[in-house]
Structure 1
Amino acid sequence: MPASDSQNDLRRFSDVIEELGRSDDPKLKLEELVAAFGERGFGAMILILSLLALLPWPPGGKAVFAVPIILMSLELAFQRDAIWLPKWALNASISRPAYRAGVSRIMKAVRYVENLTRPRIPFLTGDIADTVTGLICVILALIMALPIPFGDALPGIALVFFALGMMQRDGIAILLGALATSACGLYLFLIWRTVFEITQHIGGWLARIFH
Structure 2
Amino acid sequence: MSERLARALRRAAREHAVSARAPVADAADLRLNLTELLDLHGDSTTAVVLMLMALLTVVPIAGAGTVLSLGILAIAWGWARGRDTVDLPDRLGALSLNERWSGRCLHGLAWMYERANRWLRPRWSVWSHSATRWGWGVWIALMAAVIFLPLPLGNVLPSLSLILLSLGWMFRDGIALAVSALMGCAAIAYTASLAHLLVQLVDRARGWLPV
TM-score tier by shorter-chain length is 0.7 to 0.9
Q: CA deviation at 1:37?
A: 2.6
Is 1:41 the counterpart of 2:29? The answer is: no
Q: Is the 8 A contact 2:122 2:172 kept in 1?
A: yes
**Counterpart for residue 35 of structure 2:** 31
- Residue 199 of structure 2 aligns with an amino acid whose one-letter code is F
Indicate the RMSD between aligned Cα atoms, in angstroms: 2.6
**Counterpart for residue 70 of structure 1:** 73
- Residue 53 of structure 1 aligns with an amino acid whose one-letter code is T
Q: CA deviation at 1:155?
A: 0.7
Q: Secondary structure at the match of 1:166?
A: helix
- Return the alpha-carbon distance in structure 2 between the equivalents of residues 17 and 147 of structure 1: 31
- Structure 1, gaps ≥5 residues long: 1-8
Is 1:128 the counterpart of 2:120? The answer is: no
Is 1:89 the counterpart of 2:92? The answer is: yes
Is 1:52 the counterpart of 2:56? The answer is: yes
Q: CA deviation at 1:106?
A: 6.5
- Residue 166 of structure 1 aligns with an amino acid whose one-letter code is W
- Return the alpha-carbon distance in structure 2 between the equivalents of residues 67 and 15 of structure 1: 31
Is 1:181 the counterpart of 2:164? The answer is: no
- Return the alpha-carbon distance in structure 2 between the equivalents of residues 59 and 95 of structure 1: 12
Q: CA deviation at 1:136?
A: 1.1
Q: Is the 8 A contact 2:46 2:83 kept in 1?
A: no
Is 1:203 the counterpart of 2:203? The answer is: no
- Residue 51 of structure 1 aligns with an amino acid whose one-letter code is L
Cα displacement string for residues 105-156 of structure 1 (whole angstroms, at most 9, x for unaligned residues):
5754552243101111112112222221122112212322321012111111
Q: TM-score, normalised by structure 1?
A: 0.80
Is 1:139 the counterpart of 2:131? The answer is: no
Is 1:117 the counterpart of 2:120? The answer is: yes
Q: CA deviation at 1:97?
A: 4.3
Cα displacement string for residues 36-90 of structure 1 (whole angstroms, at most 9, x for unaligned residues):
33457122222233233334x0432323543433322321111113212223333
- Structure 2, gaps ≥5 residues long: 20-28
